[in-house]
Structure formats: C-alpha cells, structure tokens
Structure 1
Amino acid sequence: MERHWDASKNYRLFEITNPESTVDILAKWKQYKNPIGFKLINMDFKHLYPKAESLLLKYDDFSVKIVPIFENEIKDPTSRQTLSEMMNNGKNLPENGRACGIFYLIHSLLIPTAKLITGSGSQKAITRFSIPS
C-alpha cells in the first residue's frame, strides 16, 4: 500500500492543500484513518516539507506547544488524570517523566477510529483496528 500511496502523492497532495476542513480530507482519503495511517501522514509530510527538521531535534518546542492542546482536547478520564499529575508536579517532574507523559497522552488525541463491518443480519461482525506493533 505504501508504494501505491507514494505513487499517487502528487494528485493527493494537490487535492488536500486547500481543503474546507480536516474532516473533508479524512472523508476523501479514508486511508489516513487505517491502522497504518500514521505512516501515510508521515510520508506526505516528508514530501511536502523535505527540509523540515526531525521531531527529535524540535522536541523541546513541541513538548511546550502540545500541552495546551492536551488541556483542550483530552476527554478520557484516565488520560485527564495523567495530564493533571503531569501539570501538578511541574518542575518536580523529571524530564524523562514529562516525555513519557507526553507520549502516553498523544494516544488520547490520535485514537484509531477505523472499523470493518462484514456479513449482515445475525452474521454481522465488526472489526476495530488498532495501531500495529
């Protein structure tokens, strides 16, 4: 799939550069919501921004900017508790602990939503995808 995705990048990226909304992009390009969607997004990002620096080099800036997004967007009670612990410990939290908290909380924002329904009637089966390991 990744080979085909790469081959169609010019058409797709032209289509998504001026969308009405992110919802429109996800409706048209459903593959972004599949379990390997994160790889497809990364491929497109690298094509659009070939000179972009690695997140590894920009982690300090990223870690500061992502926390307000967590505060506004996370709804899951367990993740909100983790965020609260992270915020309450502030300067007492070791940098490794903060990084661990951030990577844990990212999963609260990027929940896989794809599902596959097969069969019909009493033979109907729903398969929910998760991120592959």
Structure 2
Amino acid sequence: MDAIQQLVLLSEKLYATLEKLEEDKNDKRENQIELIDKLLDARGQTIDALDPVSVKAHKDFKLLQALNEGILQRLESCKAEIVSDMRQLQVSKKSEERYVNPYSQLGNLDGTYFDKKE
C-alpha cells in the first residue's frame, strides 16, 4: 500500500471517529479524544512523508480534499463544544462556591471603621 492510500484510510477513519464523537457527546469522551489525537499524529506523519506534487496528481486527491474539509469542520465543532463545556463547568464551580460560602464576596468586615478623610 502506498502512502497516499494509507493517508486516505487514515483520513476516512478519522472522519468516522469524529462523526461518532458528535453522536456520543459525553460518553467516553476522553478515550475518543485520545484516539483522535493518535489518528491525527499518524495522519500528520504520513502527510510529512508525502511529496506534495505527487499527491495533487493522484486520482484520490479530490477525495482527500473533501475528507480534509469535513475533518476540519468536525474538529472545529468539537473544539467549540469542549470550550462551551469548560465554561459551563467554571460557572457551576462558582455557583457551588457561592452556595457553600455566600458571604465570601463581602470581604473581611471585622467591625473596624475606615475614615475616608486623610
């Protein structure tokens, strides 16, 4: 199998994995992200080993372009979803902290008087 066919297979597998990630949402997200990372690394190494001129002349070039566009689109949506989940986690942490200690934002008022004049 030549490197271009290997690149097509890796791209198809990555595309399918990203499609499955969108369906599963939170189930086994960490394992799927690790798998995506491994596939991206393998795909990157394969791309680095290829000659750009020979890729453009290959019969599967159009397929590779379409797969690449789909992969980029799905990776962007995956990234946006993860960023959204991280923001939601931060908000929930703050609300939990306010519930546990509702007077934490008032500061330390120990009964002393501060005169504004100097």
Which category describes the TM-score, using the shorter chain as reference length? under 0.3
Larger relative helix fraction: 2
Larger C-alpha radius of gyration, 1 or 2? 2
With normalisation by structure 2, the TM-score equals: 0.28
When normalised by structure 1's length, the TM-score is: 0.26
> By percentage of residues, which structure has more strand?
1
The one of the two structures with greater contact order (alpha-carbon pairs below 8 A, sep at least 6) is: 2
